[in-house]
Structure 1
Amino acid sequence: MTNRLSTSLSPYLRQHAENPVDWWPWGAAAFDEARRRDVPVFLSVGYAACHWCHVMAHESFDDPEVAAVLNSRFVSVKVDREEHPDVDATYMRATTALTGRGGWPMSVWLDHSGRAFYAGTYFPPRPRLGMPSFGSVLDAVSRAWTERRDQVEGAADRIAQALAVDRRPPDLLDPASIDLAQVTSAAVTALESEFDRAQGGFGGAPKFPPTMVVDFLLRAYAAGGDGAALTMAEATLEAMARGGIYDQLGGGFARYSVDADWIVPHFEKMLYDNAGLLADYTYWWRIGAGQLARRVAAETAEFMLSELGTDEGGFASSLDADSLPDQSADVAEEGAYYTWRRAEILEILGDTDGPWFADLCGVTAEGTFEQGRSTLQLRTDPPDWVRFERLRRRLLDARGSRPLPTRDDKVVAAWNGLAITALVEAGMVFDRPEWVAAAERAGRLLADVHLRADDRLLRVSRQGTVGDAPGVLEDYAHVAQGFLALYQATSNLTWFSRAQQLLAAMIHRFDDGHGGLWDAVPGPLLPPQRDDSDNAYPAGGSAAATALLTFAALGGDLPGAGPDARELVLTLLARAVPLMQRQPRFAGTWLATAVAVTSGPIEVAIAASDSS
């Protein structure tokens, strides 16, 4: 028996279609039902590649007793955060305000107006490590709703008021009064204080690829010769490329490292990470890096095409962290596809080549991961590249017999825009026209399937069928930037016109009335929202500034009598100056755009057409 999620576009929602929980998709109908029954809404937010989402689903949502409580005392709503980033962002702020932390799965309890009054993340089936059991939380929330409704509504009021303060526009600085060169120079200095000089990156464990910050640092060096910026960028890029966070057999990067030394990753592979890092390694090569940059860029591009490319021409969202350890297993394990026991390597490669390869890649008898298994690292270049490549291919072939991680094959507009831009740039730099061709196929999918006749951009499609979720600011911005990259590579004016169309629609749709842009169009259940911080990939605002600056550099004019594209960029940058000054680690794309503004016209290249 299936529930309402069985017809969902999202693979993540479909994973929950056979839960005994009577799930509802996000929308007004669920809140109408909660109002009719006078019960609270339980909102569960996750995504397909999330390990702990799978754990909680197995422990709680597959449990008939838990489902009975959810079905009788709540209206339960399941959301794919990748399909509805506006829902995710709204309730992540509420969760952080209520608990001081956030993460996925995100568990939030709402009143009939969509206001949060209680929240958490993962809850175990039984009390553990100071965490209450999920059942006890459900019971407590239900009793509070029934017996202390005034306190519940008071909590919802307080959270809503606190979050409303965050939505007020900051004081707008005069763009003409801002010294962007000083802002970017100070950011480099501030980043030095957080830089891990031993292992690259910033801060401690868990350590995420600082994709946007590295982009800024490389561009700061290229524009002004800042040696400190180059040192931080190069050390980080090399450490990641040589660590376990990078797939030394098949290419591509995992989401993050659980340790500070890049040894053991959280094994999910995301499209946005790999698109951003492909762009970083490509740019590093452009400004004089050695063969490591070229090899990692090429392997990452090939990974994106071979493992994330979809039949309809786009790029899938992610590969799961978990997979079955072998064909006879019933329970998926984290990292099973990517990790090795030393004895396995010796059995496959033999008594001579096996120890040589295992030692080179840091595979020990004890293991660097769990249960005697190790990730593969390549801390130094092999003394014999031909031998290494031969053995790598043998091990890759052997890995191919393992059960594959699940792929979330939905096409997200923003992330495909990132992939298009990165593949075009890499294809042009490394003279790989097939990468540009793949990017153009993805561009056609976005133009034909996601872009509507009324200039609306829809966020998600799967197997060529587009969903109802509207595009948010990041979708318009990243897709426009991808279209501009395709124009530069192909000289096809259609791509330029489509980018112009998207940017004009973006400004009209997301204008906040105060010189900035909302992240999403406000709706009846969701208030207006804006978060200018770069996180796993560029924020909507910083992506918009980048796309507008590229458009201006290409001579683009926005329709109407408003400010031109470059003036809008300067206004957006002025809004982001406090963020660049206080938290440069979360302002990498803003800072890179500021470098482009201060160092003169952004670099563009337009390929000649056959007829020119």
Structure 2
Amino acid sequence: MSCENLIMHPLRSDHTNTLVHATSPYLLQHAGNPVHWQQYGPDAFELARQEDKPLLISIGYAACHWCHVMEHESFENQKVADFMNEKFICVKVDREELPHVDHYYMSACQVISGQGGWPLNMFVTADGKPFTGGTYYPPKPGYGRPSWMDVLAFVSDIWKNRREEVLEQADKLSAHVHQSQASLLTLKPESVADGSDTEKIFRHLMSQADEVNGGWGGAPKFPAAMVLQFLIREEWFRPDDQVRKHVQKTLRHMHYGGIWDQLGGGFCRYTVDASWLIPHFEKMLYDNALLLETYALAYGRWQDPEDLEVLNGILAFANRELVAPGGGYFASLDADAEGEEGRYYVWTNEEIESLLADDAVWFKKRFQVSEDGNWEGRNILHRNHPGGKSPSSPGQEAAMAALLQARSERVKPALDDKILVSWNGLFLHAMLVAYRATRRADLLQATLDHTKALLEHCHVDGILYHVWCKGQVTVPANLDDHAALIRLLLALFGETGNKYWYDQALSLAEFAVGHFSDPESPLFYDHLPMESLPVRTREVFDYAQPSGNALFAQSAFTLYLYSGEQRWLDLHHQLTSAMQTGMERFPQACGQWLQAAQPLQHPVAELVTAGPEARSLLAECHAEWYPLLISLPVCDRSLENMPFSTDRFDDNVTRIFLCKDHQCAAPVSTVSEYAKLLKAF
């Protein structure tokens, strides 16, 4: 199966460019450009062959501030567009629609310059091989960069006059990217079960911690959600005050900082400073998914009401700003509004005083509002660091509501209304983790409803699709989509006992093994074959999002526990073995992998509630937190053929079974008895 054969890419029409046929908000933003943009696909590459031109592949996403800047400066300029149209076949790519295309060309850009980012502008031969490129280019030389027109003229000249050098460079660069992909596949199976490796990783992470602000690293500062999740779980097994305090410090500093929307909830992507104050204002579903799961784990672990406040704030933001009417969640909110980055979120001192009157005094102290502001004359709301005194008021809720209402009347950031299966899989799984931590039944029901909608619209005629937007599905699903959805479906099976979810997960897992596996490596490819990509890529590290390989490793272990089939345990061992060296050397880029490997080091609790009240008793059991737990309520005899639930159901009584490696303690009937078993586990 090939991705390209399942996507229609119409060529130039009477419109300015073919992007008018797209559903992606990012592509539609460029539909009115005088540049003759094409959508990515075989038609564009064939046109390049016919006209003997290089392709300019320009990659970005709807919430990207510098993508908007370059569009306004260059792609809306008629003179620039005329030159681009004359000399190049110009292709626009939404990196969120085609992440594997972005991954390949970003890897090439990093080989060329040692840097990456968006917008990404790569010059490519008709066989898909990049030969030069970069990120943002200004309209005039500056920032240590040539102008965009200088770049275009240079590339046009070498294509015309130094073609052999260009083709040689393209071959070398493509080979280098291929080699770099191959170098990721270092197998070390003999060390998988060596507990000392995990201890070294634990210490390595803490040696790199930012002891002042929390988190890791300096500016720009990204939330290391998956690493935090690993440490929350790991600290249960290896109690350590330094680790616990650092995790809690990080959670508080992010909560109190400008990266958190103090009025409306939800996190921005990152901050440009080391102290979490000045955010890059775009809000992404996947960031909030990962952080929702992080704060839910923390709340389940420590029952800190401030973690619950953040958990509820993320859910409120998502259900107000990102929820789709037909089910699922949209992708992101732009960083810009009214042509200015962050304009929607910041306040002048005068605006606060005018809107809040007498309440302005305490509000300004609590949220650090000043006459001069802390960002371009305006104020990014933030709070004193934990431990400092922040005066509040009985009228705080009303004041916050008044400002939120006033903000809602401003011009809003643009909404990217793509529904991406992988990102929704992450968010809905996080919602389930939040359900377990809070035992709010509405969260379980919402997860069920959104997942049903996702399957109904995105799993069509046996094919899972990556994007659902404006009533259409486009782009066959990649590994990330399968892995995130499989993990979600297995978690739903574990909460409901409805075998439909297990059967769907198993079917998708079988498809993934059959279509993404590599006979020369235990690690899976990211995407289905594409003729236009010289290298079939795999993203093995956990960067902004978890690696699909890491998520699939977690699900393979869960499938083994539910099914008892050794092949899934073997697959889990193969995947984690392949990344053992990566986990040891680059633990900050392996947060999901570290969690996937934890069952090799620590006991997994297999919790089965069986009987007429199995679901409600399971919900009560969630009051007792354990970091590695697989559950299943057995409500009738329909699951008798599964080893996880054989001979457990009794029509007359509901019992609790706590097991390890399919070996169970004597059943108990109450949560207090279960808590004693778990404490001794």
- After TM superposition, the score normalised by the length of structure 2 is 0.85
Aligned to 2:454, which of 446, 454, 479?
446
The aligned counterpart of 1:275 is 289
Task: Please list, as runs of the form range in 1=range in 2, the aligned pairs for 1:219-298 lying within 5 A after superposition.
Answer: 219-298=233-312
Distance 1:181 1:55 in 2: 50
Q: Percent same amino acid at aligned positions?
A: 37
What displacement does 1:427 show? 2.0
Task: Please list, as runs of the form range in 1=range in 2, the aligned pairs for 1:467-478 lying within 5 A after superposition.
Answer: 467=474, 469-478=475-484
Are 2:435 and 2:443, in contact at CA under 8 Å, matched by a contact in 1? yes
Aligned to 2:423, which of 415, 434, 440?
415
The aligned counterpart of 1:588 is 591
Q: Which amino acid aligns with 2:200?
A: A
Aligned to 1:57, which of 71, 78, 94?
71
Q: Residue 92 of structure 2 aligns to a residue in which SS?
A: strand
RMSD over equivalenced CA pairs, Å? 1.8
Q: Residue 530 of structure 1 aligns to a residue in which SS?
A: coil
Distance 2:228 2:464 in 1: 30
Task: Please list, as runs of the form range in 1=range in 2, the aligned pairs for 1:515-594 lying within 5 A after superposition.
Answer: 515-526=522-533, 527-555=535-563, 557=565, 564-594=567-597
Are 1:369 and 1:375, in contact at CA under 8 Å, matched by a contact in 2? no
Distance 2:579 2:428 in 1: 26
Are 1:12 and 1:80, in contact at CA under 8 Å, matched by a contact in 2? yes
The aligned counterpart of 1:327 is none
Distance 2:186 2:105 in 1: 27
Distance 2:323 2:443 in 1: 11
Aligned to 1:132, which of 146, 162, 165?
146
Distance 2:259 2:392 in 1: 23
1:511 aligns with 2:537: no
Q: Residue 468 of structure 2 aligns to a residue in which SS?
A: strand
Q: Residue 395 of structure 2 aligns to a residue in which SS?
A: helix
Q: Residue 221 of structure 2 aligns to a residue in which SS?
A: coil
Distance 1:464 1:448 in 2: 12
Moved more, 430-439 or 19-28: 430-439
What displacement does 1:14 show? 0.7
Q: Deviations over 1:358-392 (max 9, x none)?
A: 11111121111113333333535755464322221
Are 1:532 and 1:541, in contact at CA under 8 Å, matched by a contact in 2? yes
Aligned to 1:434, which of 437, 442, 446?
442
Distance 2:564 2:413 in 1: 43
Distance 1:133 1:302 in 2: 44
The aligned counterpart of 1:598 is 601
Are 1:361 and 1:379, in contact at CA under 8 Å, matched by a contact in 2? no
Rate the CA distance shift 1:419–1:180 in 2: closer, same or farther, 3 A.
farther
Distance 1:597 1:349 in 2: 55
Distance 1:370 1:45 in 2: 29
1:189 aligns with 2:195: no
1:349 aligns with 2:372: no
Q: Which amino acid aligns with 1:397?
A: Q
1:459 aligns with 2:466: yes
Larger radius of gyration: 2
Aligned to 2:103, which of 80, 89, 97?
89
The aligned counterpart of 1:328 is none
Q: Which amino acid aligns with 2:175?
A: Q
Aligned to 1:497, which of 499, 503, 522?
503
What displacement does 1:532 show? 1.1
Show structure 2 runs of 5+ residues with no match.
1-14, 605-627, 638-650, 652-681
Distance 1:368 1:512 in 2: 51
Are 2:363 and 2:392, in contact at CA under 8 Å, matched by a contact in 1? no
Task: Please list, as runs of the form range in 1=range in 2, the aligned pairs for 1:363-378 lying within 5 A after superposition.
Answer: 363-377=369-383
Q: Which amino acid aligns with 2:86?
A: S
What displacement does 1:257 show? 0.5
Q: Residue 225 of structure 1 aligns to a residue in which SS?
A: coil
Show structure 1 runs of 5+ residues with no match.
325-331, 558-562
Are 2:186 and 2:581, in contact at CA under 8 Å, matched by a contact in 1? no
1:69 aligns with 2:75: no
The aligned counterpart of 1:335 is 342
Distance 1:596 1:365 in 2: 53
Rate the CA distance shift 1:365–1:421 in 2: closer, same or farther, 3 A.
same
The aligned counterpart of 2:623 is none
Q: Residue 571 of structure 1 aligns to a residue in which SS?
A: helix
What displacement does 1:346 show? 1.0
Aligned to 2:407, which of 388, 393, 399?
399
Aligned to 2:320, which of 293, 301, 306?
306
What displacement does 1:409 show? 0.8
Q: Which amino acid aligns with 2:441?
A: P
1:113 aligns with 2:120: no
Moved more, 175-184 or 584-593: 175-184
Aligned to 1:34, which of 48, 62, 70?
48
Distance 2:184 2:337 in 1: 46
Q: In the comparison of the two structures, how many residue pairs are matched?
A: 597
The aligned counterpart of 1:213 is 227
Q: Which amino acid aligns with 1:153?
A: L
Distance 2:186 2:345 in 1: 49
Distance 1:379 1:248 in 2: 14
Are 1:500 and 1:556, in contact at CA under 8 Å, matched by a contact in 2? no
